[in-house]
Amino acid sequence: MKIEKSQIISYRLCSHHLDKLYPADNIVAAAGACGLQNSPPGAWETALFNRLEGCSMQMLHKALHEQKKLLQAWSYRGVPVVFPTDQSDAFLSALIPQQGEPWIYTQGIALALDFMRMQFDDFLILVKEAALYLDNHTIQSKEALDKTLAEIVCEHLPEEKQKLWRAPSMYGNPEKHIVGEAVVSFLLRPCSFESLVVFGERQGISPTFTSYKNWIGQANIPMPEAEKKIARKFLHCYGPATADHFMVWLGCSKQQAHRIWNTIADEIEPVQVEGKTRYMLSADIESLLAADNHEPRLLLLGAHDPYLDQRDRTVILENKSMHKTVWKTVANPGAVLKAGRVIGIWKTKTLKDKLDISMTLWEAIEPQEKQYLKSLAEKLAVFRSLHMKNCTIETD
């Protein structure tokens, strides 16, 4: 079964809720498709702005902080992700590794372990016990979280280890951080997957942290189908794909990715994309084959929008030489989309309540399309409670 790129683009626009603006009450479905990365802070808000009709900050924050339909926690790749609270098993407990598999986002801890002359599991036990403090407390700022839990762990270390624990960190600024805080920082991801730490309501520019139990009011009970759910979500949003694509998206080991992938082995089937074998959920094959080219809708996707998280990037940007312009190691720009393809980038500059947006396009568009992009920029400024100062569009 041969699948064309045009079909893949049309299918993925639908699965990512980007084929049109959906009613505002679709907030849980839109956020739950594959989760919404929230780094840089605010990325999840921009993502839903592009998916929901009449989307407002008040509506989003009410769902996250008051109704708690949505939850933010460190999830796949160890990044902050906003997802439906009732799907916490898929976005958290599904990521807990089995015996012999490393935890996501913990590889860099090796330097600290060698320095402390202690084993990973020993520290994990201590940090998880320290994290129980969050069942009755909320801590403001990531730095304060690292410091608080490091102090609790230190009290349970032998005296000879406490000196090493308090030594200047080999990560970041050694004048500001100690080894113990670095160890805690790495192990917050495993704590998150076990629901011991989640994000609370943001206070100004600082996030707050507490436990799932303290924030939601009840424990997060791991469900037996959790791994199947996260695998289905990935394939529903990013199929046709491979187990290795899934591995990179999760940020986990090959062993863990293939194990989780195999839990739905009887639910997938192969297709051919440009002569290569990829896989789709059997339940989605009909939708993929029926996918039509939608009207060439223009979009200003924010950095790290889930749609841009496709691992086969040539599907939406054929020119590989431009990939490093869109997908950077840090400080990604936004992407200008036309009919699902990346045709340029956009950047912002904010000064007090004024917003500048500059777009660079790689292909010519009609004058009315340029005007439409400017109107999108205006709407985004209003959404952010900012005043548009300048909006420029250049064709490179």
The dihedrals phi and psi of 289, each to the nearest 5 degrees, come to -70, -30
Of the chain, the percentage scoring pLDDT greater than 90 comes to: 94
Q: What is the 3-state secondary structure (H, E, C) of 298-341?
A: EEEECCCCHHHHCCCHHHCCCCHHHHHHHCCCCCCCEEEEECCE
Contacts of 311 (CB under 8 A, 6+ apart): 238, 241, 245, 248, 249
pLDDT, tens digit, 9 for 90 and up, residues 310-363: 999 999 999 999 999 999 988 899 999 999 999 999 999 999 999 999 999 999
Q: Rounded to an integer, what distance in angstroms lies between the CA atom of residue 177 and that of residue 159?
A: 20
Instruction: List the end-to-end C-alpha distance of the chain, in Å, as a whole number.
Output: 38
Query: What average pLDDT does the chain have?
Result: 96
Please, are residues 83 and 70 in contact by the beta-carbon 8 Å criterion?
yes
Phi first, then psi: give them for residue 83, nearest 5 degrees.
Answer: -150, 165
pLDDT at 294: 67
The three state secondary structure string of 43-111 is: HHHHHHHCCECCCCHHHHHHHHHHCCCEEEEECHHHCEEEEEHHHHHHHCHHHCCCCCCCCCCCHHHHH
Measured in residues, the chain has a length of 396
Across 124-139, average pLDDT:
98
100-112 pLDDT, tens digit per residue, is 999 999 999 999 9
Q: What is the pLDDT of residue 292?
A: 76
Lowest mean pLDDT among 117-126, 243-252, 287-296: 287-296
pLDDT at 206 (0 to 100): 93
- Report CA-CA distances (Å) from 395 to 82, 343, 362: 34, 10, 6
Q: Residue 226 pLDDT more than 80?
A: yes
Residues 229-261 have pLDDT tens digits of 999 999 999 999 999 999 999 999 999 999 999
In this predicted structure, what is the pLDDT of residue 314?
A: 96
User: What contacts 24+ positions apart, CB below 8 Å, involve 135-141?
Assistant: 135/211, 135/213, 135/214, 136/214, 137/210, 137/214, 138/200, 138/208, 138/209, 138/210, 138/214, 139/208, 139/209, 139/210, 140/203, 140/206, 140/207, 140/208, 141/206, 141/207, 141/208
Q: What's the distance, CA 74 to chain centroid? A: 8
State the pLDDT at residue 295: 73
Mean pLDDT calculated for residue range 11-27: 96
Burial bucket for residue 140 (CB in 10 Å: 0-12, 13-18, 19+):
middle
Q: What confidence category does residue 291 fall into, taking pLDDT thresholds of 50, 70 and 90?
A: confident
Q: Which of 178-187, 217-226, 359-368 has the weakest average pLDDT?
A: 217-226
Task: Choose between 49 and 294: higher pLDDT.
Answer: 49
For the segment 70-103, what is each residue's pLDDT rounded down to a tens digit?
A: 999 999 999 999 999 999 999 999 999 999 999 9
Q: Are 195 and 212 in contact (CB under 8 A)?
A: yes
Q: Which pTM value belongs to this model?
A: 0.96
Quick one: pLDDT band at residue 178, thresholds 50, 70, 90?
very high
Name the residue with tokens 């304060």.
144
pLDDT of 296: 79
346 near 326, Cβ under 8 Å? Answer: no
